Amino acid sequence: MNLPATIFRQYDIRGLVDKELTPAAARAVGQAYTTLAWERLGKAPRVAVGRDNRPSGARLAQGVCEGITAAGGAALDVGELPTPALYFATKTLPVDGGIQVTGSHNPPEFNGFKMVLAHDAVFGDDIQDLYKLINDGKLAAKPGGSTTSHRGLLTAYSGAIVQRNAPLARRFKVVVDCGNGVTSLVAVETLRELGAEVVALFAESDGTFPHHHPDPEHVILAEAALERLGIAHLAGRPVSHMSSGEAKRTLIARALVHKPQTLLFDEPSNALDIGAQLQLRETMRELAQSGLGILLVTHHVSEIIPEIERVILLREGRILADGPKSSVLTAEHLSNLFGVTVRLVRQDGFLHLC
């Protein structure tokens, strides 16, 4: 079977339904994945198969299951669910990997596949290996395959989120726009179980996305933001494959897509190495110089960029000092704040404690 090379991307397989992706193509992907799994595991793989709520999802997922079965694997159909729930399945169910049928943020005429094997994402060269297996006709064909279903996963997924995070430190009121996506099946009730007051928008699951699609302008803005921050090469890379510094800059780029007036940085240098810390400081400076407001919450005076003009010192919820940086960031005020005698050194516009 010959499939277009363009749908085999760096981090997923994605294309137009019926033109590039058909049930036969899905079967080939499932069979190729299982062939790869046999090589890696040395045994018949057990594979969780999930899907989002696009109209094409059920038949593509069925094709994937048929391909897994044809190659002698065991497919476990976990139904309609968000991609993170499929990843949850690979950690909590007796499976060796998972395939999610999803078009991600694209309009409903698109669909695709995200894959995990032995707790690692299938991406890059592995995806190209799947393409070669399909186009070279080297797909495993083995007896003993099977397909079963498991319909309790969303309940377990929601329960795990609540168990890990409840109770919330305080009650929040949140507005949740599910965009009629598959998240509609779990997001609102999970947040309410956590104790949040939820205002739900477009929370009826409808894979035609009748109210709004992803804004094409956002793609252009996202590409521009990534380029601006010097991380255009990270486009499409899963966060799990980024360093902490890359992940933080990617989150900044994501925020810039929405054209904010102010950005909040909360202890931004936590978990960053020295190089990433310096890079982040320069990013904050460039943003501030471009006219964006910067609201910084930090315990480290060395994070306070020269462009920040007003500083508030807080201790146990009480304001100790509030005013221009030059009058607030003094050795006396900081010694009182931290309860120890400190000395300040100024270098290149930044302050350092010693």
User: What is the secondary structure of 206-218 as a DSSP string?
Assistant: -TT-SS-PPPHHH
Is 3.40.120.10 the CATH number for 5-151? Answer: yes
CATH 3.40.120.10 residue ranges for the chain: 5-151
Distance CA 124, CA 237 (A): 10
Q: What is the mean pLDDT of residues 327-335?
A: 94
Residue-level pLDDT at 354: 84
For the record, the structure tokens of 306 come out as 């020269």
Q: Tell me the C-alpha distance between 90 and 82, whole Å.
A: 13
Closest CA to 251 of 233, 272, 273, 229: 229
The Cα 140–Cα 137 span in angstroms is 9
What pLDDT score was predicted for residue 239? 79
Q: Once rounded to an integer, what is the mean pLDDT over residues 171-178?
A: 89
- Answer whether residue 254 shows pLDDT above 70: yes
Q: Mean pLDDT throughout 139-163?
A: 96
The model's pLDDT over 16-34, given as tens digits with 9 standing for 90+, comes to 999 999 999 999 999 999 9
Q: How many helices (H) and strands (E) does the chain have?
A: 11, 15
Give pLDDT, residue 203. Answer: 95
For residue 55, the model assigns a pLDDT of: 97
Asked if pLDDT for residue 216 goes beyond 80, the answer is no
**Cα–Cα distance, 249 to 229 (Å, whole number):** 7
- In the chain, the largest separation of any two C-alpha atoms, in whole Å, equals 78
Among 54-63, 169-178, 216-225, top mean pLDDT goes to 54-63
- Per-residue pLDDT at 201: 92
pLDDT confidence band for 215 (50 / 70 / 90) = low
DSSP string, 180-245: TSGGGGTHHHHHHHHT-EEEEES-S--TT-SS-PPPHHHHHHHHHHHHHTT-GGGTT--GGGS-HH
Q: What is the DSSP string of 280-315?
A: HHHHHHHHHHTT-EEEEE-S-GGG--TT--EEEEEE
- Residue 238 is predicted with a pLDDT of 79
Give the number of other CB atoms < 10 A from CB of residue 1: 12
Task: Give every CB contact of residue 211 below 8 A, 6+ residues apart in sequence.
Answer: 179, 180, 202
According to DSSP, residue 354 is labeled -
Q: Would you say 181 and 206 are in contact if contact means Cβ atoms under 8 Å apart?
A: no
| pLDDT reported for residue 240 | 77
pLDDT for 341 beyond 80: yes
pLDDT for 180: 93
The predicted-structure confidence for 72-116, as pLDDT tens digits, reads as follows: 999 999 999 999 999 999 999 999 999 999 998 888 999 999 999
Q: pLDDT value at position 211?
A: 85
Query: What element of type H or E holds 127?
Result: helix 125-135
Catalytic residue among 56, 104, 205, 240: 104
Residue 149 annotated to the active site: no
What pLDDT does 304 receive? 96
The residue-averaged pLDDT of 139-145 equals 97
Whether 217 has a pLDDT exceeding 90, the answer reads no
* pLDDT band at residue 7 under the 50/70/90 scheme: very high
Q: Report pLDDT for 219.
A: 75
Q: Which stretch of 19-23, 95-99, 238-242, 334-338 has the lowest confidence by average pLDDT?
A: 238-242
What H or E segment, with its residue span, contains residue 58? helix 57-70
Q: In this predicted structure, what is the pLDDT of residue 214?
A: 58
